Amino acid sequence: MKKKWMGLAAGAAAAVVLTACGNDGDGDTPTYTVATDSSYVPFEFLNEETGEMEGFDIDLINEVADRVGFEIDLEVVEFDGIVSGMGTGRYDIGIAGMTITEERAENFEFSNPYYSAGLILAVRADEEEIQSIEDVDGRPVATRAATTSETYLQQNTDAEVVTFPDIVNAYQDLQAGRVDAAIYDLPNVLYYIETEGVGEMEAVGDTLTGEQYGIAFPEDSEIREDVNDALAEMMEDGTYAEIYEEWFGNEPNLDDLADSPEEAMEILAESEEEGNAEENDGEEEENAENNVEDEENADNNEE
């Protein structure tokens, strides 16, 4: 990967307004407020050496802005503030590795998907008992507040859910032994493990859920379709692949991307149903084993 992990300043999550696009601002070019998050490496983060925001999402939205023809006022806020701000129309655009979900789509709109992800579990390298999501029941598991990973834990496990406004704090608590596992989006987990968590953390189990990221817009946005057109052009002419390879070190598989937000939501729902079915199968198998043990104990007592 071309860029490496840069530590995030303590105050980086506060609202900051930056100019992130190189248009000449001659008065005829519209300016849109774009909300992003400072702590989702490698999608967006503050480079302390330069004082500038960097990442896959930042490069992507700058290229989109150049093609559509608008300038960007980049506002850096907490992730849950982006979600709520999009619903109230505070921001014109939101890009922050945001999963397309039915709940969010009730309050604002999404572009077509631009990244295919999923959740993954991380543990300390010396952890032996937790090797999959089935092993976290009753254990403290850290994640980021107001995200699909928090929802997944609440709906699919009996883990003790510990949330933080910044996912880096969740990883640090895991490294310090204050929680037994952490769960978050696959690319961010792997990036942290390969940088700040080398030798201390590892990813375990299967990728959970079929999540796809979209760019967020208020309802009836005047530029959503133009952004969709720009994304399609970038994927067609290879620009998207160039940006992707710069940040992730490999070529993207565009076949993994859904064709629309609606299809992305269907994929997510199907993956969640599969996860629930597997969990129910596991519970039924455990109950069956318990019933066999009860019957054996009853037979022994009769003897």
User: What are the pLDDT digits (tens) for 59-76?
Assistant: 999 999 999 999 999 999
Indicate if 26 and 106 belong to the same structural domain: yes
d(CA 12, CA 131): 34
Indicate if 225 and 85 belong to the same structural domain: yes
CB-neighbour burial class of residue 4 (10 A; exposed 0-12, middle 13-18, buried 19+): exposed
Domain annotation covers residue 296: no
Structural domains in the chain (count): 2
Q: Report the chain's mean pLDDT, rounded to a whole number.
A: 88
Domain annotation covers residue 279: no
Indicate if 110 and 221 belong to the same structural domain: yes
Look-up of token digits 């702590």: 39
pLDDT of residue 302: 54
Among candidate residues 183, 210, 237, the one where a domain is terminated: 210
Q: Hey, is 194 helix, strand or coil?
A: helix
Indicate if 107 and 168 belong to the same structural domain: no
Indicate if 224 and 241 belong to the same structural domain: yes
Indicate if 239 and 164 belong to the same structural domain: no
CATH assignment at residue 171? 3.40.190.10
Q: For 27-57, write each residue's pLDDT tens digit.
A: 689 999 999 998 899 999 999 999 999 999 9
Closest by Cα among 65, 54, 53, 60 to 15: 53
- Note the Cα 81 to chain centre separation in Å: 15
Indicate if 67 and 192 belong to the same structural domain: no
Strand partners, 60: none
Domain annotation covers residue 169: yes
pLDDT of residue 38: 82
Share of the chain above pLDDT 70, in %: 82
- Least reliable range by pLDDT among 12-26, 32-46, 168-182: 12-26
Indicate if 58 and 85 belong to the same structural domain: yes
With beta carbons less than 8 A apart as the criterion, state whether 216 and 108 touch.
yes
| Domain that residue 148 falls in | 119-210
d(CA 280, CA 287): 10
Q: Between 282 and 163, whose confidence is greater?
A: 163
Domain annotation covers residue 149: yes
Q: Between 295 and 44, whose confidence is greater?
A: 44
pLDDT of residue 63: 99
Indicate if 130 and 105 belong to the same structural domain: no
Indicate if 49 and 95 belong to the same structural domain: yes
* pTM, 2 dp: 0.81
